[in-house]
Amino acid sequence: MSAAIEITGLTKVYGEKRALDGVDLEVPAGSIFGFLGPNGAGKTTTLRILTGLAHPSAGEARVFGRDVVSATNEVRADIGFLPDVPGYYEWMTAPEFLRFAGHLFGLTGSVLDDRVEALLDLAGLTGVTQKVGGFSRGMKQRLGVAQALINAPKLLMLDEPTSALDPIGRKEVLDMIASLGGRTTVFFSTHILSDVERVCDTVAILHEGRVVTQAPMGELKARYGTSKLVVGVTGGADALAVRFAAEPWAAEVARGENGSIEITVADLAEARRAVPAAVTEAGVGLTRFESGEVSLEEVFVDLVGGER
Ligand code: ATP
C-alpha cells in the first residue's frame, strides 16, 4: 500500500512547549483520514509543517515520498489546503474567487473554465450570483474546499473544516468530503468525533503532541470495544453489579442508564453463560441483555482521558 503522507518522529518545539513530540503517522493513498484530537493537541502544527508553513524541530515528513522541507515546492504542487481560518475576498462571487485561485496555479482557458464549473457543482454553488461577503458560513466553507481543489491535488488537507458550522452546514461539508473518496486522498483535522465516524475510513488520535493510536475505523472499534455487555434486571442490580465486578471475566463494571449494569468483559463467552445464571440465582428477571457496540467517543475518552 502506498502512502500519501509518512511522518516519523516529527517534533516541533516552541520555546518550552513541545507542540509535537515524536509524531509517527502514515496516511494511505486514497483514504479519507481523520486526524482527531482535542484543542491544542498539535493538529494545526502538523498541517503547517506538511504544507511548508512551519519547519520541524526534528523528525521528518514526506508527501508522496517527497520530503516536505527539501522539496516544499514539489509537495505543494501535489496538495490542496484549507486552513482553519481561511481568508476570502468578500467582494468576489464564487466563480470569480475560484478563477482567481486557478490563475495563481497558472490555469487558463478551457481547463480553468471546466474546473471552475465542476467545482461549483461539487460545492453546490452553481448559479449562486451573490458575493462571498453575503455567504453563510457553510457556503463559505464549501467554497473553501472547492478552492483547495482547484489544482486537482492528489492530497487534500483541511484544518478543522467543520468546527464553526451548524449541523446542516457540517453535513454539507462532510458530504462534499465523502464524495471525494477514492479520487483524492483527504486528510482532515477535527475535534468532532461524529465527523470522523461519518466520513473517515482511517483515523489517528493525537494527544499532547503524540499519536496515541492509528487504525482503520472498524479495526479501532474492534480493538477497544468488542466486549461490552449491557444488562437490565427487575431488581437487585446493585448486588449483581458488585458480584459481577468480582468475576474474572469482568474487566470493569459500571452503572448505565435506567439502572442497567454495563460490563466491559474480558471473556465474552464466559460472561454470556454466567450473567443469566447469576440473574436467575438472584431470583430476579432479566429485562435487557445486549452486546453494546463501542463508540469512537468511548475509544477517545479511553485513550485521551476526560480529565481536562
Ligand atoms: P486547536 O484545535 O486549538 O488549533 P491544535 O491541535 O491545532 O489545536 P496546535 O495549534 O497545533 O493545536 O498547537 C499545539 C500546541 O502548540 C498548543 O499548546 C499551542 O499553544 C502551541 N503553539 C502552537 N503554535 C505556537 C506558536 N507559534 N508559539 C508558541 N506555541 C504555539
Ligand 1 center from residue 60 Cα (angstroms) = 19
Q: How far apart are CA 7 and CA 16, in angstroms?
A: 23
List, as one string, the DSSP characters of 78-109: HEEEE-SS----TTSBHHHHHHHHHHHTT--H
Q: Are 212 and 292 part of one and the same domain? A: no
Query: Does residue 270 share a domain with residue 168?
Result: no
Does residue 179 sit in the same domain as residue 53?
yes
Report in angstroms the alpha-carbon separations of 132 from 57, 88, 96, 122, 129. 38, 7, 10, 17, 9
Measured from the Cα of 209, ligand 1's closest atom is 14
Residue nearest to atom 3 of ligand 1 (CA): 39
Per the structure, the count of domains in the chain is 2
CA of 153 to the centre of ligand 1 (A): 26
Range of the domain at 269: 225-307
Residues 136 and 214 in one domain: yes
Which residue's alpha carbon is nearest to atom 24 within ligand 1?
45
CATH number of the domain residue 269 falls in: 3.30.70.100
Cα of 171 vs centre of ligand 1, distance in Å, is 27
Whose CA is closest to atom 9 on ligand 1? 42
* Same domain? 149 vs 240: no
Ligand 1 contacts (CB < 6 A) are: 14, 17, 19, 37, 39-45, 191
Tell me: pLDDT of 1 over 70: no
Backbone φ and ψ for 201, nearest 5 degrees, come out as: -95, -20
What pLDDT is recorded for position 86?
82
Q: Are residues 240 and 130 in the same domain?
A: no
- State the first-to-last Cα distance of the chain, in angstroms, to the nearest integer: 37
The verdict on 147 and 61 lying in the same domain is: yes
Question: Is 219 a residue whose pLDDT tops 90?
Answer: no
Query: How confident is the model at residue 141, as a pLDDT?
Result: 93
Tell me the C-alpha to C-alpha distance, in Å, between residue 187 and each of 133, 135, 281, 295: 28, 25, 53, 21
- Domain end marker among 192, 221, 250: 221
Burial of 170 (0-12, 13-18, 19+ CB in 10 A): buried
Number of H helices, E strands in the chain: 11, 14
Sign of CA dihedral 240, 245, 246, 250: positive
Task: Report which DSSP code applies to 125.
Answer: -
* pLDDT, position 294: 64
pLDDT of residue 308: 43
What pLDDT is recorded for position 2? 79
My answer on whether 59 and 86 are in the same domain is: yes
Looking from the CA of 298 toward its CB, the CA atoms found within 13 Å total 14
- Quick one: what percent of the chain has pLDDT higher than 70? 96
* Domain final residue, candidates 179, 206, 221: 221
Residues 147 and 19 in one domain: yes
pLDDT of 150-203, one tens digit each? 999 999 999 999 988 988 999 999 999 999 988 899 999 998 888 888 899 999
207 and 233 in a common domain: no
For position 217, which CATH number holds? 3.40.50.300
Residue 25's contacts (CB-CB under 8 Å, 6 or more residues apart) are 5, 6, 7, 10, 46, 204, 211, 214
Same domain, 188 and 232: no
- The SS3 call for residue 115 is helix
Q: Report which protein residue has its CA nearest ligand 1's atom 2.
A: 39
Q: Which of 13, 17, 162 to mutate to test the pocket of ligand 1 (most atoms within 8 A of CB)?
A: 17
Is residue 196 located within the same domain as residue 236? no
Q: Please identify, among 186, 221, 256, the residue that sits at the C-terminal boundary of a domain.
A: 221
